[in-house]
Amino acid sequence: MVGITKGEVLPFDRFERAILIALQVDGRVSNQDLAQQVGLSPSACWRRVRALENAGVIQRYTAILDPKMVGIGETVFAHVSMARHSKSSSVEFAELMRQQPEVMECFFTTGAADIMLRVATPSVAAYDHFLENVIFNAPGVSQVHSDFALRQIKFETALPL
């Protein structure tokens, strides 16, 4: 892991892969327990975890909340089409989306729409407010198609390593 450029696709050895799999299951595992799980000494495990963090492989640690229990009742997939395609309009829209707390994910896509958003809101009315005050006022937006999720079948955060 020494000398790795951030963002580079890395070849992982069996210990690094085991560390990444274990941390995706439980990001709060102690270094002692992690070392035992992957078969390393605590100091060697700690060095490898730090190297993975410094290389940008491990981006952050977080808690996953139950949306309904915190009042977020609606998940909406918004497919946004842009009137014009330019680097400046793409950068401007991306920055606007980064500033919106209800936008959980934003992707530039191919296909029928240019952008796909996953939006989490407390209600249909809150989503309507988001559309009216953010999306419809965003420069360059020509059309929005919204799909409301009826129920979640699967939700994973761990990448298939």
Q: Looking at 4-18, 52-66, 97-111, 132-146, which range is the least confident one? A: 4-18
The mean pLDDT value of the chain amounts to: 94
What is the per-residue pLDDT for 157?
95
Per-residue CA distances from 62 to 7, 100, 158 (Å): 20, 19, 12
What is the per-residue pLDDT for 149?
98
**Full set of structural domains in the chain with CATH:** 1-64 (1.10.10.10), 68-148 (3.30.70.920)
What is the per-residue pLDDT for 10?
72
Mean pLDDT along residues 99-111: 97
Q: Give the pLDDT band (50/70/90) at residue 1.
A: low
7 pLDDT higher than 80: no
What is the per-residue pLDDT for 6?
64
Q: What is the pLDDT of residues 26-83, one digit of tens each?
A: 999 999 999 999 999 999 999 999 999 999 999 999 999 999 999 999 999 999 999 9
Buried/exposed code over 16-30 (b: 16+ C-beta within 10 A; e: otherwise): bebbbebbeeeeeee
Burial class (CB in 10 A: 0-12, 13-18, 19+), 1: middle
